[in-house]
Amino acid sequence: MLHARISGIASYLPDDILDNEMLSKMVDTNDEWITTRVGIKTRHILRQEEAGSSFLGSKAVDKLLESTGTKPEEIDLIICATSNPDYRFPSTASVIAYKSGLKNCYGYDIQAACAGFIVALQDASAYIRAGYNKKVIVVCAEMMSSMVNYSDRTTCPLFGDGAAAVLVEPTEKETGVIDTVLHIDGIGRDHLVMKAGGSFKPTTHATVDAGENYLFQDGKFVYKHAVTDMYTSTLDICRRNGLTMESVDWLVPHQANLRIIEAVSSRAGIDPAKVLVNIEHTGNTSAASIPICLDEFKDKLKPGDKIVLTAFGAGFTWGAMYLIWDL
């Protein structure tokens, strides 16, 4: 029986940093207010002209290919998870494939917001297990600054730009992606949304003037559902696989908000030392947050480590994944 293992990982964060002091000069906020509420000190911002999410994604993919010794022509599928595509069409996956020289692959984008990495990795795993593909790249590329209203003090401190990519390959060992639980319910549409710019409400001068082409978030509503849904999906994946919080080596939650991470971890009853957190210096990078975090802490991870990933995003879309690390 084939399994899908992560055989390589890489990430890219742009050089420019926006810290809380800088934000306090742009909007009515301060370092103490931001740190206390969301646990973020700095975030990376892509300021290069005529560069979008594909720029970030191709940087991560290029680093991945180099670090794994993989030739671009060996890749047969690329799946890009993003809420910030370069264009409505063509796909950002196609732009990244072109930039990184992936000439022998198929590819597509998925939009699962902050849960995008888990969803895309589950897709990749299914293709691998079916024997349909041999070398799949999952890339999460998010220029979140392109949808943030920097006059909205409730949302602008939260988000940063970044990308990460993993190489997924088949193995006959019981390792890699073991199990996944995914959910979507649609009740979050009015609470975490970009109100204009789609076919339901196309962009007009009026929508731009009203700020409806920026991200909107009802923070309290989102917080409540994020904590509950990430907690319950974490318990579900553990029950399905005979895991306990003692036997789990690492919990890697979506880096949305430090208070959410702490609430999920506390309710689950896992040792805080086993929870990987890097939100303080990255902010919320949406779909890219989990793989960026995994890449940052990869030297702490050992082959055989039991890892639970959990994420929550717009829709609402949420879930958890059980991985056995093999890198």
Q: Which amino acid, residue 207?
A: T
Burial 96-110 (b: 16+ CB within 10 A, else e): bbeebebeebbbebb
Q: Which residue has the tokens 């890749």?
A: 75
Q: Locate 322 and state its tokens.
A: 């059980």
Instruction: Count Cβ atoms below 10 Å from residue 19 Cβ, excluding itself.
Output: 14
- Active-site choice (238, 257, 284, 293): 284
Running DSSP on this structure, what letter comes out for residue 170? E
Running DSSP on this structure, what letter comes out for residue 35? H
Contact yes or no for 307/250 (Cβ under 8 A): yes
Q: Does the annotation count 84 as an active-site position?
A: no
Q: Does the annotation count 114 as an active-site position?
A: yes
Q: Does the annotation count 191 as an active-site position?
A: no
Q: Give CA–CA dist 289/271, Å, rounded.
A: 21
- Active-site choice (105, 114, 156, 293): 114
CA distances to 18, 50, 293, 296 from 284, rounded to whole Å, are 13, 23, 11, 15
**Contacts of residue 218, Cβ cutoff 8 Å, sequence gap at least 6:** 190, 191, 192
Q: Give CA–CA dist 55/66, Å, rounded.
A: 17
Contact yes or no for 120/137 (Cβ under 8 A): no
Q: Give CA–CA dist 123/273, Å, rounded.
A: 30
Q: Give CA–CA dist 107/325, Å, rounded.
A: 25
Q: Which amino acid, residue 115?
A: A
**Contacts of residue 88, Cβ cutoff 8 Å, sequence gap at least 6:** none
Q: Give CA–CA dist 73/143, Å, rounded.
A: 27
- Active-site choice (3, 44, 225, 254): 254
Residues annotated as part of the active site = 114, 254, 284
